[in-house]
Amino acid sequence: MAPLEGATQRLQATGRRLTNQRRLLLKVLTESQAHLDAEGIYALAKERDPNISLATVYRTLNVFKETGIVQERILDREGQRRHYEIAGKAHYHFTCLGCGRVIEFESPMIEQASTELAKRLDLDIVQTRVHMDGYCPACQEKEIT
């Protein structure tokens, strides 16, 4: 299902509409390859609609989170660096402590551990969050030289 269709269905299921501003923010999120925080989403949206406000972006992101359209990810140790992405296939993040680069990865082992834990403890796991910090190959090389 396309993100726009899924978003429309999720919003309607909770009595909400897919407004033009929500549609715009959804497009920004689906078209971007970057890890965007709210201010980054706002900047890209403002290029297309100069009348959109940062407050609207935050409100819309909250609605999108509540309805499961987007997921909020924390990408630093202090919990200050948050980005938003369209909910979809399970994946995880590695953040380089040297350069700040974020690398996405998939891991069947994490999915298996989550499934086994849910079964063993009779849990309904809605989301698994795994985030790793360390140094990318380029930053490791800098430390050596």
Q: Residue 97 is part of which domain span?
A: 89-145
* CATH number of the structural domain spanning residue 68: 1.10.10.10
- Same domain for 72 and 126: no
Which pLDDT score, from 0 to 100, does residue 2 have? 66
Would you state the pLDDT for residue 87?
80
Residues 94 and 79 in one domain: no
One pLDDT digit (tens) per residue for the chain, 145 residues:
566 677 888 888 888 988 999 999 999 998 988 888 999 999 999 999 999 999 999 999 999 999 888 888 877 677 677 888 888 777 888 889 899 888 888 888 988 999 999 999 999 987 787 888 899 999 998 876 5
Question: Could you tell me if 68 and 21 lie in one domain?
Answer: yes
- Are residues 82 and 94 located together in one domain of the fold? no
Whole-model pTM: value is 0.74
93 and 82 share one domain = no
Same domain as 121, residue 56: no
Q: Are residues 94 and 70 both part of a single domain?
A: no
Q: What is the pLDDT of residue 45?
A: 97
**CA-derived radius of gyration, the chain:** 18
Asked if 94 and 60 sit in the same domain, the reply is no
Note the pLDDT of residue 89.
Answer: 77
User: 72 and 40 share a domain?
Assistant: yes
Q: What is the CATH number of the domain that holds 96?
A: 3.30.1490.190
Q: DSSP letters of 117-133?
A: HHHHHT--------EEE
Q: How far apart are CA 23 and CA 8, in angstroms?
A: 9
Q: Are residues 20 and 81 in the same domain?
A: yes
In this structure, are 119 and 144 located in the same domain?
yes
Residues 6+ apart with CB under 8 A from 27: none
Q: What are the E-state strand segments in 87-145?
A: 92-96, 102-105, 131-134
